[in-house]
Structure 1
Amino acid sequence: LLVEWNDTTVDYPHATLPALFEAQVDRTPHAIAVVCDDTQLTYQELNTRANRLARRLADRGVRPESVVALFLDRSADYIVALMAVLKAGGAYLPVDPNSPADRVTYILGDAQPTLVITSAGHESALPQKPERILLDALPGSEAEERAGRDLAASDRNLEALPQHPAYVIYTSGSTGTPKGVLVEHASLTSLYHNHFGPGGLYATEIEAAGEQRFKVGMTAPLSFDASWDPLLWMVAGHELHVIDDLTRQDAHLLVSYAAANRLDVIDTTPSHLEQLVDSGLMRDNRSCPRIVSFGGEAIGNGLWQQLRAAELSAFNLYGPTECTVDALIAPVAAHAKPVLGKPLSNTEVFVLDAALRPVPVGVAGELYVAGVQLARGYLGRAG
């Protein structure tokens, strides 16, 4: 209970997320990094655009511990803006333009971001403060060659360290006032290495594919931490498909998209996955992905057994927003019935009673999580 199940220590390299991404750009500059609607960006194109915006953010005072809000539609440019914030040293805060106005106002008022990156079409929905940058109105002078190069230490206001925050994502507020969860680069890069490092979660499938890159569908709202699992696939060198809102919310359209684009990886919730399966996701080789990962809610035994019988790899990923996306992982093939599984690398989990004592196997209790992936805390709520 205390030792064997939690013997998870792995010595991963210390890095920030932009450093991992820039290393991938150097390896595969001309490979497709992001696809959204009719837009395709190579790693070099994505990196160049992000660098240009990152310099502008640094000029506006963005630095480590700064929060920069993204108030944008799903697009390839969203990924550009996200990477730019991280490259400038800031922490990105996703704010969904489809959210109710009072939630948008509350989040921006509570987080007090240094800047908001938005578009002309959404600017009027923002409160008067904070300052904003219109992504679709940047001047052409930003296109010079120097501005597209990776930022040096002298280009930033302060060099970001693994202990600096990478993102702030707000809870839904279902158990009280929404709170901003502050997650550091060290936590995010630990998740990356757990998934894509030697012996990682997806190592067997990636090794079996050889030199072939995977096509990964992003279906989660970008304001949820679940969006990071597909994003990390891109950082690892695979092709990220940012599925538009109309397609991702219609099971038949999404299955058609998966088949037409031969998506290899789908990451979603069990209830959404059930709709996709009913719409033919695993009906034939063309529409069946190689990997399905799911989380965010409990999965029923019926769907679990369907996944066990299918010719794919399936993973149950469990974790609260406060624990950098995933805390426990269960390969479906290894378990006859639904379980949460075992802790990720450098993560510990304990099932305790009301007096914080470990309960025996099979006895109900509450799940406690510890380790490097635990968030720093709630933004502005150190207590």
Structure 2
Amino acid sequence: MFESTVTRFPDATALVFGDRATGYAELNARANQLARRFVALGIGPDTLVAVAVPRSDELITVLLAVLKAGGAYLPLDPTYPADRLAYMIADAEPVLFVRSSEVGLRADGTPEYVVDQPELQAERAREATEDLTDADRLAPLDAAHLMYVIYTSGSTGTPKGVAVPHAGVADMIATHAERIGPGPGDRVLQWASISFDAAFWDITLALLSGATLVMASADDVLPGDPLHETLRRHEITHATLPPVALSVTDSEGVLVNGTVMSTGDACTPTLVRKWAPGRRLFNGYGPTEVTVGSTFSGPVAPDDDEITIGIEWTGERVQVLDDRLDVTGGEGELYLSGPGIARGYLNRPGLTAVRFVPDPQGEPGSRMYRSGDRGSRRSDGELLFAGRADAQVKVRGFRVELGEVEAALTAHPGVGLAVATVEGDLADARVVAFVTPAAGQEVAPQELRQYVGRSLPEHMVPSMVTVLEHFPTTSNGKIDRAALRTPAATATAGHTGWHEGMSYDDALCAMVAELLGVPVVTPDQNFFEIGGHSVLATKLAGRIRQDLGVKVPIRSLFESTSLSELARAVEKAA
């Protein structure tokens, strides 16, 4: 599909990163050169290649090269905790580990290829640039072979790898063409982390249609002012963003007459009123266990009575079934089927058998994925999403199994029991946790946050840990989760907030306390260590600009080791 696009648009700009622009023919040649190196290193159909390359044009070249060689890629976002990335490598057992020199991660026992090593780049340049054929690969490649493995949060306490083959791509591209219509002249933002399957949507929306894929640094796609500026500066026409990013980013003057896809979490009427005027707004749905998605609705209008998740993609199927797997006319569980469903979970045959089940309404031998999502179908065929049927939640668009957070906490020798939950809504949503100490032990909340931060990605680390002597219980002796409330949820009513005349230190502490919902914040504390995250950082920058009249670079918030240090940066910028 990519090479056919190259044939049609060889001179069109395929990829932009910083001040570098790469044409389709040039990108294809680079990918072919690297793919031949991968084939020589033993990469072929159903072999897995771990990729740890920062956001860049080189990352796209590597992914294309892995697929051209016939292999499947295991994306490793270098910003994820090293322990988590190491677990993925050990669990997936890739045959090759590809990284750039700036990535310090290592894969013991796995052959390594450093893409920007000068001598390896020279070898690539000597390789032929013709398109690869099955004769050039170690074996023929077909749609049933593996395309990528993406790890998601696991309820058992460890991440699980979802193994996705090539088979669903044709339906996805047909859906792109029929309902979105990207093509030459369009500019698609690559926003999602490469460890999130939405990144594959971004990449293919552009590179399989003749449009331009715009890559930007992690700093430049932070929700809020940085994202708004990137959308404006690069004249982005198509962007796929979660509601949390849309909620804190100004819609004025960006994506004008363009297309925005809301996905990863529930789209709200407020977001529709903000983003639908002057552009096409779609609302997408689909878990990692399918090829990126299953349904989407739209264009959504501000006066729509209900925000649905739409109808199925071309060639895909969604059934609303009851507990006996019979089609129900009311609310039920959503079961997904079609060419786009994954093979299952890597090295997890038991879990695969539980979640990927025979389809009683399908052809003999066909399967469907039990999503765990609840929903219903309207008389016009549109699907409505009604929430989860289990303990899985969404935090800032990321899928989180609270059981994995709890397992990480109880792995600490000082913790007896742990309960994780979510407080806040949309942009303010955050994981919080409650623990009881093990017998004879004392545990400090900050110590526990640092401990789990070594294995959990940032969005899963509890913003607050509350230590209790014992948990409240229900009448049947189970933990009463509904009765658990953090001090932040109950002790902020008397908070006076920011007011004029405060010092910069006091003003920032007051603003942060309000944003995080905590009663007291002191200048020596670090914003991110007390529950802040990237989205809240952009909101804090907005508050500083609005209330203090000072515009500080978002990077200052990340680099400041304390609120006092940030106050000095604000003072300097004033």
Q: Is TM > 0.5 for Structure 1 vs Structure 2?
A: yes
| Structure 1 stretch displaced more, 100-109 or 171-180 | 171-180
Which of 112, 123, 127 is matched with 2:107 structurally?
A: 127
- Match of residue 140 from structure 1: 122
- Match of residue 220 from structure 1: 192
Match of 2:271, SS state, is helix
Match of 1:321, SS state, is coil
Q: CA deviation at 1:125?
A: 2.0
- Match of residue 495 from structure 2: none
Q: CA deviation at 1:289?
A: 5.4
> Structure 2: 5+ residue runs without aligned partners?
351-574
Query: How many Å separate the matches in 2 of 1:127 and 1:69?
Result: 9
Residue 253 of structure 2 is aligned to residue 271 of structure 1: no
RMSD value, Cα: 1.7
Which of 295, 303, 311 is matched with 2:278 structurally?
A: 311
Q: CA deviation at 1:175?
A: 6.3
Q: CA deviation at 1:357?
A: 2.6
Residue 235 of structure 2 is aligned to residue 262 of structure 1: yes
- Match of residue 90 from structure 1: 71
Q: CA deviation at 1:247?
A: 0.8
Please list the CA deviations of residues 279-307 of structure 1 after superposition, one character each: whole Å capped at 9, or x if unmatched: 2x2x23x5535100111111112112333
> 1:253 corresponds to which letter in structure 2?
P
Please list the CA deviations of residues 167-224 of structure 1 after superposition, one character each: whole Å capped at 9, or x if unmatched: 111113366421111111111222112212xxx1113xx5xxxx85201111111110
- Residues 38 and 45 from structure 1, CA distance in 2 versus in 1: closer, same or farther, beyond 3 angstroms? same
- Match of residue 182 from structure 1: 163
Which of 180, 195, 198 is matched with 1:202 structurally?
A: 180
| Structure 1 stretch displaced more, 165-174 or 238-247 | 165-174
Which of 87, 111, 121 is matched with 2:92 structurally?
A: 111
Alignment of 1:17-166 (within 5 A): 20-122=1-103, 124-137=104-117, 138-144=120-126, 147-166=128-147
Q: Are the counterparts in 1 of residues 14 and 210 from structure 2 also a CA contact under 8 Å?
A: yes
- Match of residue 15 from structure 1: none
- Match of residue 382 from structure 1: 349
Q: CA deviation at 1:109?
A: 0.6
Alignment of 1:275-286 (within 5 A): 275-276=248-249, 279=250, 281=251, 283-284=252-253
Q: Are the counterparts in 1 of residues 238 and 255 from structure 2 also a CA contact under 8 Å?
A: no
Query: How many Å separate the matches in 1 of 2:121 and 2:260?
Result: 42
> 2:332 corresponds to which letter in structure 1?
G
Which gives a bigger RCO, structure 1 or 2 (Cα 8 Å, sep 6+)? Answer: 1
> 2:140 corresponds to which letter in structure 1?
E
- Match of residue 296 from structure 1: 264
Match of 1:350, SS state, is strand
Match of 2:289, SS state, is helix
Q: Are the counterparts in 1 of residues 47 and 71 from structure 2 also a CA contact under 8 Å?
A: yes
Alignment of 1:357-368 (within 5 A): 357-360=326-329, 363-368=330-335
| Structure 1 stretch displaced more, 347-356 or 91-100 | 347-356
Query: How many Å separate the matches in 2 of 1:86 and 1:246?
Result: 28
Query: How many Å separate the matches in 1 of 2:184 and 2:107?
Result: 46
- Match of residue 293 from structure 2: 326
Query: How many Å separate the matches in 2 of 1:243 and 1:103?
Result: 24
How many residues align? The count is 345
Q: Are the counterparts in 2 of residues 221 and 227 from structure 1 also a CA contact under 8 Å?
A: yes
- Match of residue 308 from structure 2: 339
Percent of aligned pairs with the same amino acid: 35
Residue 350 of structure 2 is aligned to residue 350 of structure 1: no
Match of 1:136, SS state, is coil
Runs of 4+, deviation exceeding 4 Å: none
Query: How many Å separate the matches in 2 of 1:104 and 1:39?
Result: 29
> 1:351 corresponds to which letter in structure 2?
V
- Residues 176 and 140 from structure 1, CA distance in 2 versus in 1: closer, same or farther, beyond 3 angstroms? same
- Match of residue 218 from structure 2: 245
Query: How many Å separate the matches in 2 of 1:188 and 1:61?
Result: 25
Which of 224, 232, 244 is matched with 2:204 structurally?
A: 232
Q: TM-score, normalised by structure 1?
A: 0.86
> 1:201 corresponds to which letter in structure 2?
R
Q: Are the counterparts in 2 of residues 255 and 287 from structure 1 also a CA contact under 8 Å?
A: no
Query: How many Å separate the matches in 2 of 1:40 and 1:348?
Result: 39
Please list the CA deviations of residues 307-355 of structure 1 after superposition, one character each: whole Å capped at 9, or x if unmatched: 34x0111111100000111111110436432111111112111122222
Query: How many Å separate the matches in 2 of 1:237 and 1:169?
Result: 26
> 1:275 corresponds to which letter in structure 2?
V
Return the index of the structure with the highest Cα Rg.
2
> 1:192 corresponds to which letter in structure 2?
I
Match of 2:62, SS state, is helix
Match of 1:148, SS state, is coil
Query: How many Å separate the matches in 2 of 1:359 and 1:142?
Result: 56
Q: TM-score, normalised by structure 2?
A: 0.58
Q: Are the counterparts in 2 of residues 96 and 222 from structure 1 also a CA contact under 8 Å?
A: yes
